[in-house]
């Protein structure tokens, strides 16, 4: 409980800091970090709580942004499609889920280059993507920060509910869970729905901040971000948030000297991932 209060205090401090510094560069960096943190939290919930390791959270993230940019009425079908996709992939089993999802994320990345819209004889989309009205820097930051706090709190509270226990039970042993009356498939759908919802909201925040979405939202970089961010900073609920901040800050800091430096962090973290995982697991226990 003390640890959780400490984590909450750290997040509040991180989120409040830009409000005192009031520098546009700092706020824009923080906004991006917060949006990616929401995405990473959604992934962390699915991996840690529900036990499904995906490398495809770029899918609900990107589909949501595209849906709003094309036509806001498409958000519900987009949300449903993401849940359906994850459910379909889950039939391959937990072991194959991670790489099947990754392959589908890459396929979607390629296919997104062909998403075009013809309006009044003018073709939009394709590689250039779609534009949308941005809500502005400070508004984006305040919105994203509020959303992050809400999701962080909600995920932690969920663990102390009946639904949270069921999700963890199905994660640990599906057969044992079914033997005590838990509808494992229903719980799986609910887990996916919660995770996809958070990723969808992150996608919407992304679009409202940038005012533009392109196929790069489905890139390998975005697909791997939550996994890498969590591995950098540990096994706790605050870890994906800290990890995202590290990645975004390093990327922005070195963008003048070496663009996309953060991808070198990705490579290093992925290569060291087995050791990092064991180290974080050992330090937790």
Partner 1 sequence: MISVLLTAIFFSFFASAVLLNYKIGRLLNLSFASIFTLGAYLYFFNPTAAALLALISGCAVGAVVSTATRKLSIAEASIVSLGFAIAIEEFLRILYRTSYFLVMESSYVEIIGEAVSVHEITNGAVLALLFLIFTAIHLSRRELKFVEDDWELAEMYGVDTSRIRLLTISISSGFICLSGAILAPTQSVFPSMGWSSTVTAVIIASIAASAGNAGVKKYLLTLPVAIAYTAILRWLF
Partner 2 sequence: MLQLIDVSKVYSGNVVLRGINFRLESGFAGIYGPNGSGKSTMLKIIAGIEKPDCGRIFFEGEDITGKSPEKVARMGISIVHQIPRPFRNMSVIENVATSFLMRKSYREAMELALEICEFIGLRNKMNLKAGLLSQGELRLLEIGRALATQPKLMLLDEPFSGLDVENAKRVIRILKKIKREGVNAIVTAHRMKLLRDVADVSYQMRGGRIAEG
Q: Any contact of residue 182 with partner 2 (CB under 8 A)? A: yes
Closest CA to 53 of 285, 271, 273: 273
Q: To the nearest whole angstrom, how small is the minimum distance from the Cβ of residue 252 to partner 1?
A: 17
Partner that binds at residue 175, options partner 1, partner 2, none, CB closer than 5 to 8 Å by kind: partner 2
Nearer to partner 2, 184 or 246 (CB): 184
Q: Please report, as residue ranges, which positions from 184 to 203 form the binding site for partner 2 (by CB under 8 A).
A: 184
Give bridge partners of residue 15 from the DSSP assignment: none
Please state the separation of Cα 9 from the chain's center in Å: 22
Q: Any contact of residue 264 with partner 1 (CB under 8 A)? A: yes
Q: Any contact of residue 266 with partner 1 (CB under 8 A)? A: yes
Q: What is the CA radius of gyration of the chain?
A: 19
Q: To the nearest whole angstrom, how small is the minimum distance from the Cβ of residue 277 to partner 1?
A: 8
Q: How far apart are the first and last CA of the chain?
A: 16
Q: How far apart are CA 262 and CA 268, in angstroms?
A: 10
Phi, psi angles (nearest 5°) of residue 30: -65, -40
Q: How far apart are CA 109 and CA 243, in angstroms?
A: 24
Partner that binds at residue 137, options partner 2, partner 1, none, CB closer than 5 to 8 Å by kind: none
Q: Please report, as residue ranges, which positions from 145 to 174 form the binding site for partner 2 (by CB under 8 A).
A: 160-162, 165-166, 168-169, 171-173
Q: To the nearest whole angstrom, how small is the minimum distance from the Cβ of residue 217 to partner 1?
A: 15
Partner that binds at residue 3, options partner 2, partner 1, none, CB closer than 5 to 8 Å by kind: none
Q: How far apart are CA 226 and CA 55, in angstroms?
A: 8
Nearer to partner 1, 20 or 95 (CB): 95
Nearer to partner 2, 148 or 177 (CB): 177
CB 38 within 8 A of CB 144: yes
Closest CA to 249 of 25, 29, 36, 15: 29
Specify the DSSP class assigned to residue 97.
H
CA dihedral (240, 139, 126, 90) positive or negative: positive
The CA-atom distances, in angstroms, between 65 and each of 78, 98, 114, 164 are 9, 23, 16, 29
Partner that binds at residue 224, options partner 1, partner 2, none, CB closer than 5 to 8 Å by kind: partner 1
Q: To the nearest whole angstrom, how small is the minimum distance from the Cβ of residue 237 to partner 2?
A: 15
How many C-beta atoms lie closer than 10 Å to residue 136's C-beta?
A: 13
Number of residues this chain uses to bind partner 1 (CB under 8 A): 25
Site pattern 62..81 for partner 2 (x: CB under 8 A): --------------------
Q: Please report, as residue ranges, which positions from 211 to 250 form the binding site for partner 1 (by CB under 8 A).
A: 220, 224
| Identified binder of partner 1 from the candidate list 19, 110, 136, 172, rule CB under 8 A | 110
123-131, 152-160, 201-209, 259-267 -> range binding partner 1 (CB under 8 A)? 259-267
CB 195 within 8 A of CB 43: yes
Specify the DSSP class assigned to residue 51.
-
Residues in contact with partner 1 by CB under 8 A are: 53, 95, 98-99, 102-103, 106-107, 110, 220, 224, 258, 260, 263-264, 266-274, 277
Residues in contact with partner 2 by CB under 8 A are: 160-162, 165-166, 168-169, 171-173, 175-184
């Amino acid at each position: 409980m003390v640890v959780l209060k400490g984590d909450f205090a750290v997040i509040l401090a991180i989120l409040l800091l830009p409000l005192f510094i009031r520098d546009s560069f700092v706020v824009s960096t923080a906004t991006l970090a917060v949006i990616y943190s929401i995405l990473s939290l959604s992934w962390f919930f699915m991996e840690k709580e529900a036990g499904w390791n995906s490398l495809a959270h770029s899918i609900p993230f990107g589909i949501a942004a595209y849906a709003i940019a094309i036509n806001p009425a498409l958000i519900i079908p987009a949300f449903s499609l993401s849940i359906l996709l994850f459910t379909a992939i889950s039939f391959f089993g937990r072991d194959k889920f991670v790489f099947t999802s990754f392959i589908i994320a890459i396929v979607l990345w390629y296919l997104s280059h062909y998403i075009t819209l013809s309006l009044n004889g003018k073709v939009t989309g394709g590689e250039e993507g779609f534009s949308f009205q941005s809500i502005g820097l400070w508004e984006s930051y305040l919105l994203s920060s509020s959303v992050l706090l809400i999701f962080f709190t909600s995920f932690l509270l969920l663990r102390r509910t009946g639904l949270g226990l069921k999700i963890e039970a199905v994660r640990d042993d599906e057969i044992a869970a079914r033997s005590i009356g838990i509808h494992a498939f229903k719980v799986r759908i609910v887990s996916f729905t919660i995770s996809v919802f958070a990723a969808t909201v992150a996608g919407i925040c992304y679009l409202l901040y940038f005012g533009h979405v392109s196929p790069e939202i489905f890139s390998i970089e975005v697909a791997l971000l939550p996994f890498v961010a969590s591995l950098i900073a540990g096994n706790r609920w605050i870890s994906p948030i800290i990890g995202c901040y590290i990645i975004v800050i390093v990327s922005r800091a070195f963008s003048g000297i070496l663009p996309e430096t953060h991808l070198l962090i990705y490579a290093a973290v992925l290569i060291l991932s087995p050791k990092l995982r064991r180290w974080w697991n050992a330090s937790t226990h």
